[in-house]
Amino acid sequence: MLHKVMTMTIVILGLFLFNATVMAAEEKVAKNEQKLLIPLRVDRTDYPDLYLCEAGIEGEAVWMLQARLKELGYDIEPNGIYSKDTSQVVKLFQTANGLQDNGIVSQSVWENLMVSEANEPCVAENNSEQEERLLIEIDVAKRSLTLYKNDIVFKQYPVAVGKSSTPSPLGEWKIVQKSLNWGNGFGTRWMGLNVPWGIFGIHGTNKPGSIGTFASHGCIRMLNRHVEDLYPNVKEGTMVRIVENGKMFPEDLKPVTLQKKSSGQRVVYVQSRLKELGLVFDRADGRFGNMTELAVKYYQVWHDLQPTGIVDEGTYRAMGMIK
């Protein structure tokens, strides 16, 4: 009888120890899983999607979103974390702008968000004779920004530009938005550009040591005191040319077929080369529209190519963009 009791006791103790071991292991796995839920950092400017998720999303893109919403009058304080409160404010913005109110920041939300709120004057004064011609030229190779007034150098500043993995967009753009005091990585001033494939601008910084280097996610960084000096000297609509050693296309170009409705940096390369070759049309803005298609057809006709309006390898070669 005693032997049976001892045997049962040993079995019960064994089961207890086994269950305790399993529970400890499960608790350890749960803790490890919690440790693995590292927030996703999003600093990109290519219209990144932002949304609520278990691990969470944080970064410069979230700060930009929150700063712009605050600027538009929404009750939000930027902290760079995409929280439930941020999602609710996004839903309010979506509703106000006729968008699906799902709290997801997609490209259409970004595009509506970054549109300038400046009002057009009801009566325009005829001051064309006095109006100064302004041009900002940024050379990414030299990491410099030059402001021209009436084709004369007015101001020059050192800048930081995009890293090789996130280059600054070469092309001819316009300032379409001016904002104050976004803070964090955007410093004290922001001047947004109308680049069609992402959110790019000229802004201040909280990393002054990066000026003069390839450091950004594509934007143009300036010292806060420099961007504050530049800001009142330019207006919305000012042209901004971003070049590399004075050019808008690289020497080692890899040809990719382009046609109407294409967009992106490669379209800028083709547009800038067409302008160099004497075909006059609007800006090299990365949008392959009717005017770019017409310019390509003209060039193809002049060089005995089939006038398709499509930039194929033969057209690249005829334009001297590849060997």
Closest CA to 271 of 254, 247, 256, 288: 288
Among candidate residues 3, 53, 122, 203, the one labeled active-site is 203
219: annotated active-site residue? yes
Taking each helix axis from N to C end, the angle separating 60-71 and 84-96, rounded to the nearest 10 degrees, works out to 50
What are the φ/ψ torsions at residue 239 (nearest 5 degrees)? -75, 140
E strands along 207-302, which residues? 214-216, 220-221, 239-243
- Between the two ends of the chain, the Cα-to-Cα distance in Å is 98
What is the chain's length? Answer: 323
Taking each helix axis from N to C end, the angle separating 290-302 and 265-276, rounded to the nearest 10 degrees, works out to 50
Among candidate residues 53, 219, 226, 303, the one labeled active-site is 219
Instruction: Answer for the pair 141, 212: CB distance below 8 angstroms, yes or no.
Output: no
Catalytic residue numbers read 203, 219
